[in-house]
Structure formats: structure tokens, C-alpha cells
Structure 1
């Protein structure tokens, strides 16, 4: 089991099918960093409570809206033009790097908030993913299930 959230997120994302599931969830407006944090908390046996969900959402939402999403929007908008313009392609890669760093910073903030929560409080509790996902993601059970499988099989 990965001790830190960043390592967990990287190893989880690299597993077969997870990247596609995360991208589908992201297209539906989900905060994939928040969902990966939920998967990490489930794996660690941290008890799911409404107060803890709210604490994580209060950290994640503003950062996603004000930092990550604007970077992602620029990167996506430049995709087509960057195929024809090497200088823009280079700038786009730098924006992509910034976007990844912004996500890493968010994961660090989420981890810092969750550090005080006891691990191994519960066994087999699978409420974090559904508790952190929006209604749209809860309708896409396949994508959430892909994350769930990784959590339970690592």
C-alpha cells in the first residue's frame, strides 16, 4: 500500500482501465483528485463521515475551479493549434506540466487534511468514492467501479 496520496494516485492511475475511467469521470465534471483521495482513504480504512467529506470538498473545490480547470481549459483549447505550431506545442506542454503540478499540490493539501484521521478504523467500508462523487458520476457506475476494483485489489 502506498503511504502517501501522490504515490497512490500515480500507481492507481497507471493500472489498466483506470486512466480511461478517470477521464470519463473528469468529462462529467468530477474532481478526479478528490476521487483518488477517496480511494486512498478507503484503502487505508479511514472511516467515512459527512464532516470529513465536507472538509475535503472545501479544500478541493476552490482549487479545482480557480487553478486546475483554467489550466486544463487552456491546454485543451490549444490542442489543435499546437499540432500545427511547434512553439505553441512547447507552451502547451509547459501548461500541461503546470496542470499536473496543480493536481499534485491539491493531492498534497488533501493528504495534509486527512493525516490526522485514524487509519484502519473500518474494514471493507466502501463509501468514500460514492460520498465524494457527484450525482453524474454515481450514475456512471462502471467508472466508479473501475476505481473500486483497484482499491480492493491492491
Structure 2
């Protein structure tokens, strides 16, 4: 079990199929940082409550909207032109690094909040993933959510 959320996220993302599952969820509107956080919380046996879900969303939502998404949009927007323009490609790589750093900071902020929550409260599945994705749950790839859950049990 990874001690911190960032290490857990890196370990998860490196597992076969998880990057593709995360990208599918992201394309469907899910906040991948929240999904990885949810998988970590499930692994740790933390019980989801309405207050905890709201607290996570209050931290993640503005950071995603104001910091991560603008960087991602710029990186995606430059993808085609960067293939023919080496200086632009170099800038795009810097944007990509900044996007990853912004995601790391979001996960650190989420972990700071979570530190006060009890773990090991119950051994069964806590279903953080579905509850965090509840707003878009009908449209999300449930196989991808299950893939995250299964991978989390092996980290």
C-alpha cells in the first residue's frame, strides 16, 4: 500500500491499462485526480460520506477548472503544430510538465484534507469511485472504474 496519494497515483498510472482507462474517463468528463483519490480511499477503507465527497469536490473543482484544464487545453491545441515546429514542441513539453505538476499539487491538497479521516473503517468496498463520479456516472465507462478498483487492490 502506497503511503501517500501521489505515489499511489504514479503507481496506478504505470499499471497496464490504467492510463487508457483514465484517459477514457477524462474524455467522458471525469476528474482523473478525483478518481485516483477515490481508488486510494477505497484501498484504505475510508467510508465515503456526503460531507467528505463535498469537501473533495470543493478542493478539486476549482483547481481543475482554473489550473489544470487551461494547461491541458493549450497542450492539446498545440499538438498538431508542435509536430512541425521544434520550438513549439519544446514549449508544449513544458506545458505538459506544468500540467503534471498541477495534478501533483491537487493530489497533495486532497491528501492534506484526507489526513484527518480514519482509515480501515470497513474492509469491504467503499464505492468512492461511483460516488465521486455520481454527477456523470450514467455516462462514464464503468469498466474503466472497475479497472481502477481492481488495480488499486494490487498496488
Scaled to the shorter chain, the TM-score interval is over 0.9
Q: How much does 1:135 deviate?
A: 4.4
Structure 1 pair 4/32, CA: closer, same or farther in 2 (3 Å)? same
1:29 and 2:29 aligned: yes
Following TM superposition, the consecutive aligned residue runs of length 4 or more in structure 1 with deviations greater than 4 angstroms are none
Task: Tell me whether 144-153 or 23-32 shows the greater mean CA deviation.
Answer: 144-153
**Matching residue of 1:66:** 66
**In angstroms, what is the RMSD of aligned CA positions?**
1.1
Give the number of aligned pairs.
154
TM-score, length of structure 2 as denominator length? 0.96
Structure 1 pair 35/11, CA: closer, same or farther in 2 (3 Å)? same
- Unpaired segments ≥5 residues, structure 1: none
- Unpaired segments ≥5 residues, structure 2: none
Deviations 1:59-78 (A, max 9, x none): 00000000000000000000
**Matching residue of 1:149:** 150
Secondary structure, counterpart of 1:30 in structure 2: coil
Rounded to whole Å, the distance in 1 between the matches of 2:23 and 2:30 is: 9
